[in-house]
Chains A and B, each alone.
Chain A
Amino acid sequence: MKNLSHLDRLEAESMHIMREVVADAERPVMLYSVGKDSAVMLHLAMKAFYPSKPPFPLLHVDTTWKFREMIEFRDRRAAETGLELLVHVNQEGVDDGVGPFTHGSALHTDIMKTAALKQALNKYKFDLAFGGARRDEEKSRAKERICSFRSAEHRWDPKNQRPELWNLYNTRIRNGESIRVFPLSNWTELDIWQYIRREGIEIVPLYYSAKRPVVEWEGTQIMVDDDRVPEELRKTAVEKSVRFRTLGCYPLTGAVESEADTLEDIIQEMLLTKSSERQGRVIDRDQSGSMEKKKQEGYF
């Protein structure tokens, strides 16, 4: 008789969640952030509905400040899987010239990501959105439910969330309300990497070490991905062997110096360095308790 490994079980649970919540949704969507967790989530969706295609499109909220390699990767993966890819940009933000260098990380994220996501959800009237968040990312996420309910204004009401019992998900909502569903809730960062390795899932090359031009900005090493890095900063750029532990807007994503250029090396480095994953993200350190606050406002 087969013995299921922890990865088998996590996989089965995620597939169960996806199939279950999609069945009752009218307009589901998968939020695709192009990062490694999204890569795993997409892979699981392809498996869950095989041989059919997943019955939902991918949505990428493009802040226009993502790494160029992320955008190339995103478009290629969408073409390969044959899934519809919706890209939403907050055009008002673009018109106002919003960006991290000029407006700071908090305002930039608020306008180009949080507000943009709400715009996109409203525009397409999605009632269910899959996201790749995990409970192990932060102490305060340990209590998060797999299904998170949002009012018609996309607000998260922490006092009004439903208990989750067994594997029974109650996804009934009223008109205008929506649900965020996190099928990777019970995965840890190590599980994600092990699964990527086991399944041979392709991830954006930025996760692997390579020579890249970096500058020091607000205490973090960031990559010079294009000419929008202010001129005087760009002049200080040096080539270093770096990689990224998380991916987002390039000015807000800290590079780590590393020689890890294979999956195994990355995992080894992760297990040996022992600093938690979100350290590389600038937005988290902006204000304490900031994730909680951002979520109430509708950020993932």
Chain B
Amino acid sequence: MSDQNSLLETDIRAYLEAHENKSLLRFITCGSVDDGKSTLIGRMLYDSKMIFEDQLDALEADSKRVGTQGENIDFALLVDGLTAEREQGITIDVAYRFFSTDKRKFIVADTPGHVQYTRNMATGASTADLAILLIDARRGVLEQTRRHAFIASSLGIRKLVLAINKMDLQNYEQSVFDDIENDFIEFAEELAAGIEIQAIPMSALEGTNITTKSDKTPWYDGPSLMEYLETVPVDDERLNAPFRLPVQYVNRPNLDFRGFSGQIPSGTVRVGDRVKTLPSAKETTVTKILTGDKEVQEAVAGESVTICFADEVDTSRGDLICTAEEPAEVADQFQTRIFWMSDEKMLPGRRYLLKIGSKTVTAQINETKYRIDMSDLQDRPARDLSLNEVGVCTMSLDQAIPFDAYNDIRETGAFILIDRLTNNTVGMGMIDFALRRAGNIHWQSVDVNKQAHSSQKGQKPAVLWFTGLSGSGKSTIANALQKRLFSIDRHTYLLDGDNVRHGLNRDLGFTDADRVENIRRVAEVSKLMVDAGLVTLVSFISPFRSERRMARNMVEDAEFVEIYVNTPLNVAEQRDVKGLYKRAREGKIKNFTGIDSPYEPPLEAEIEIDTTSMTADEAAELIVDWMKQRGMLEA
């Protein structure tokens, strides 16, 4: 604010005019406290006069009391206010700081700490245009630096500032700087294409090359950090990409107005432009553009707009409006990069909600191709992903969606994964490309359909899903029930956990990932059997709610009956018909449900059977009565 400070005092109007037209830059700072990150951010806030006097008084007092800089101001204290909160266990993934100069307003994403670093940094990087990588001049390019650069470039950041800090401790030697810069440039060739690197020698502590060029580095002919941040162009890529508008909101105040609202992630739209709405692929012409309540002829990336069409094109929330010349792709299977952010593992086969743009669909991870080891950035084989792991996975959706590759347009290629039970955001991902398989395999439409099968048999198909601990009595009850149903001429089939594991699922073990796959296959088989008109009995421990819900969602609502065979663990263990509990307790069987693997009891089972108070035959009778009452045994 320096040269404008006088303006502030003498001509406030001129000052405000100047400041009204500043641009905005969002950046992330990567590095640890040891690298001088907090000192750097504190210094930037201080130099741009974003610190008020009352805060400054507190800062000076704190610096003397707990600071590490003797009588000098410890700038790190300005931004280290979160330590106490960390100790209390409050999750802080990113802290945001704001400052501005004459030319720009800056939003800084500061990701504290080493713990959870991947997740935190990815969060901060997702909205950043630029990353500052802090390097301690005494230590050079470390694994950590490479990791930061990898995450930043994965998230689509194309501008990296290499802040080679603590140059004062290296006597501002040019060779130190040159070696580090060359080291990094060599490594950066492995990163995504088109990355611009600006290396700056500095000392955050002494303020060297932060706001202005310092005479301590006469050999350096680049800009100071602030000069660079103030002038680096940021929007070219977005503005030059093809026009997109994810529809957030259909604006229809009356019959005369029908507009589609959203924020433009890329490109430009003008009145008269031909556009295409996806996935319907209908074309029309833009007749009106509103930015807020103002009608304009043109709108660009970054603006929130409402646009109107010449024709009544069926468009709703979640659709993507594109330039007709270069529309987005539509697909339902992808290769993606996923950053996992939940304590609970990502499991192939499990279903998650996927939100992309304004659209939410159901997604399933098909296969983890490999994970990227964050310690050395090498690919490693993997099936699942744990917290803070990054992997390349294929996934499929329950419907086709419009998208762009993340590397082309960030907002239309980025998604989050949501756990369906807890509603938590458990992962973030980026689409690399569509897998074409889905387009080639069409559903074979068959003339003899489910209806025909079931009327031939004179019955309503259903899935009777028995869940419960090992030895709870599921199979015994299912067996008794099947005999009864058979005796009244029902066409049935019993899928039993043990039996299926000998054939269809004999390649699967008992890890969480395998349990999910085990259930997925059985759910698919029971769905086929329902299509064939059968009353299908499924007797599987099926310990996870999420997979039971998946099975439920595969058939129609009234066709699925969840039967919870509720036998307390101690009772099941006492019975121990197959001697499995004994072996599990002895540690001879791993991942045994109820012992060292969890069982999630149903929250809304249609039928619950307490095996401590009734026999298997009584339970079968109870189920038959239940089915009769609901008309499930009528023709």
Contact = CB atoms under 8 A, between A and B. Distances in A.
B253 A167 contact: no
Given A19-B249, A165-B123, A267-B16, A12 B290 contact: no
Contacts of A15: 263, 292, 304
Given A161-B91, A165-B428, A23 B248 contact: yes
A142 B249 CA distance: 30
B239 interface: yes
Interface stretch (A3-11, A25-33, A125-133): A3-11
Interface string B7-35: 01100110110011111100000000000
B252 A6 contact: no
Interface in A132-180: 135-136, 139-140, 142-143, 158-168, 170, 172-174
A49 to B, nearest CB: 7
A170 B304 contact: no
A281 to B, nearest CB: 13
Nearest to B251: A52
A5 B425 contact: no
A185 B107 CA distance: 11
Contacts of B22: 5-6
A267 to B, nearest CB: 7
Interface stretch (A34-42, A191-199, A225-233): A191-199
A1 B261 contact: no
A107 interface: no
Contacts of A268: 8-9, 12, 15
Range for the number of chain B residues in contact with chain A: 35 or more
A51 B253 contact: yes
Contacts of A159: 89-91
A139 B83 CA distance: 12
A2 interface: yes
Contacts of B53: 273-275
Nearest to A266: B12
B9 A4 contact: no
Contacts of A292: 85
Given A4-B302, A50-B306, A166-B127, A143 B94 contact: yes
Interface residues of A, number: 68
Interface in B348-390: 353, 355-358
A19 B253 contact: no
A223 B533 CA distance: 79
B255 to A, nearest CB: 13
A46 interface: yes
A2 B126 contact: no
B81 A140 contact: yes
Contacts of B415: 168
Interface stretch (B95-103, B158-166, B174-182, B585-593): B95-103
A174 B20 contact: no
Contacts of B355: 168, 170
A16 interface: yes
Contact of B24 (A6, A49, A136, A142): A6
A11 B263 CA distance: 11
B423 A170 contact: yes
Interface in A259-287: 264-265, 267-268, 271-276, 279
A276 B263 contact: no
A12 B12 contact: no
A20 B248 CA distance: 6
Contacts of B13: 264
Contact of A48 (B94, B97, B126, B261): B261
A142 B304 contact: no
A271 to B, nearest CB: 6
A256 to B, nearest CB: 13
Given A23-B358, A198-B20, A170 B425 contact: yes
Nearest to B108: A142
A72 B141 CA distance: 62
Contacts of B91: 158-161
B98 A188 contact: yes
A6 B23 contact: yes
B92 interface: yes
B52 interface: yes
A186 to B, nearest CB: 6
A168 B416 contact: yes
Contact of A23 (B19, B123, B317): B317
Contact of A186 (B20, B98, B110, B293): B98
Contacts of B298: 2
Contact of B251 (A2, A6, A51, A264): A51
Interface string A232-275: 00000000000000000000000000000000110110011111
Contacts of A294: none
A19 B304 contact: yes
B536 interface: no
A77 interface: no
B313 to A, nearest CB: 19
B292 A272 contact: no
Closest 10 CB pairs of A and B: A47-B292, A15-B304, A6-B105, A6-B24, A52-B253, A142-B95, A139-B81, A158-B90, A276-B52, A12-B304
30 contacts: A2-B298, A6-B23, A9-B302, A19-B261, A23-B248, A47-B292, A50-B251, A50-B293, A140-B81, A142-B96, A143-B94, A143-B96, A159-B91, A160-B91, A162-B424, A162-B425, A165-B122, A165-B414, A167-B263, A167-B411, A168-B357, A168-B414, A191-B105, A264-B12, A264-B13, A264-B16, A267-B16, A268-B15, A274-B49, A275-B52
Interface of B: 8-9, 12-13, 15-16, 19-24, 49, 52-55, 81-82, 85, 88-98, 100, 104-105, 107, 110, 119, 122-123, 126-127, 235, 239, 248-249, 251-253, 257, 259, 261-263, 268, 290, 292-293, 298-300, 302-304, 306, 317, 341, 353, 355-358, 410-411, 414-416, 418, 423-425, 428
Interface of A: 1-13, 15-16, 19-20, 22-23, 46-53, 135-136, 139-140, 142-143, 158-168, 170, 172-174, 185-186, 188, 190-191, 194, 197-198, 264-265, 267-268, 271-276, 279, 292
Given A264-B13, A292-B85, 7 more contacts: A2-B298, A4-B300, A5-B22, A9-B24, A51-B290, A168-B416, A185-B96
